[in-house]
Amino acid sequence: MRDLVEIGMGRSARRAYELDDVEIIPSRRTRSSKDVSTAWQIDAYRFDIPLITHPSDAVVSPRTAVAIGELGGMGVLNAEGLWARHSDVEDAMFRLTRAAEEDDPLAVTRLLQELHSAPIQADLLAEAIKQVRDSGVTVAVRVSPQRAAELTPDLLAAGVEILVLQGTIVSAEHVARDGEPINLKQFIADLDVPVIAGGVGDYRTAMHLMRTGAAGVIVGYGHSSGVTTTDAVLGIGVPMATAIADAAAARRDYLDETGGRYVHVIADGGVHSSGDIAKSIACGADAVMLGESLSAATEAPGQGLYWTSAAAHPSVPRSRVTVGAEAEVDLRTLLFGPSADPDGAVNLFGALKRAMAKTGYSDLKEFQKVGLTVRG
């Protein structure tokens, strides 16, 4: 039953919960973390850890995508990012770092918008994808709904194996004033590669997106405290614990509706620590999308800078460019330890394994059944 709260005469709102509001409850059984598997598989592609990178240029370069893939996760390149627009991305990153140090707090956002005003060059995009493909890891690339029809043929020709169709909000049918609605169901049906699409924020939108044929549905829009500003700019927010649970309920009902078609739920937002990863899976996610957490890695192209893809929007930017601590830990250590950090920022998936072991679960699907409580 939905928890509705009256906010005024004739108007009510649903009470919803963030990941910080819920806690995992241990069961009467425990097991060794050596007997726990964090593997997951979407379509024909298997991964050792339930990690998808947020497609931020600050986190994912072709080289970083390869490193993530070799470590068992899915690195997602941004088809509309800097690697598709500039031949010297290292210089662009240097300029962004300098701009972030200026007294004017908007200087770095203006520079990011300027860098993204350069046209997408098909040869640069193809070369970036080739670097990932040649390594042998799974090739995943993000494109926005607005440019999907334009860019997807080139992406497929370059060897993309998983297409991530991602915007702040993605619906099953986008109505355009000057033409026919974009039919996402037909778009996906015409492709020979699995599509992960989102973000969504509730049961109904998740169900509609599942019915388009998407292999995975992204819940959230990459919210990160101090970075994303979608709530301030658009008034849109996605309390992640509730949103993930709603999408998981849609997945269950869609599974029954179709007689067995399983759609993966990807949590994108509010995940800052290993505990948040564990709680996302416990709420029903199959995998998590990480961005800011990975910006601390020595391999991250932004070298401590972080922003989401919405930061470069030409008229309505919805992300700050933040400057974190100097990168001091490599990706392997960040993901698997060892760690001297007591706050869950390092050994992200080693800690997930331990959380599963402490509660007696041996795989991710089982861990989705773990008990939860809400903080008073």
Reported as a single tens digit per residue, the pLDDT across 291-336 is 999 999 999 999 889 988 788 888 888 878 888 766 679 999 999 9
Question: Taken in order 128, 273, 106, 304, is the CA torsion positive or negative?
Answer: negative
Residue 366: which of 38, 49, 45, 72 has the closest Cα?
A: 38
DSSP 349: H
By 3-state DSSP, what share of the chain in percent is helix, strand and coil, each rounded to 5?
Answer: 40, 20, 40
Give the position of tokens 């998983």.
162
Q: Please, are residues 321 and 315 in contact by the beta-carbon 8 Å criterion?
A: no
**C-alpha to C-alpha distance for 81 and 285, rounded to whole angstroms:** 27
- Its CATH architecture, for the domain 19-374, is Alpha-Beta Barrel (3.20)
Residue 235 confidence (pLDDT): 83
pTM score of the predicted model: 0.94
Mean residue pLDDT of the chain comes to 92
Residue 83: pLDDT band (50, 70, 90) is very high
Residue 175: pLDDT band (50, 70, 90) is very low
Q: Are strands 40-42 and 45-47 parallel, antiparallel or unpaired?
A: antiparallel
| 325, 328, 330, 334 alpha-carbon torsion, rounded to 10° | -60
Reported as a single tens digit per residue, the pLDDT across 31-55 is 999 999 999 999 999 999 999 999 9
**22 strand-pairing partners:** 374
**C-alpha to C-alpha distance for 127 and 346, rounded to whole angstroms:** 32
The amino acid at 152: T
CA-angle at 187, arms to 313 and 120, nearest 5°: 35
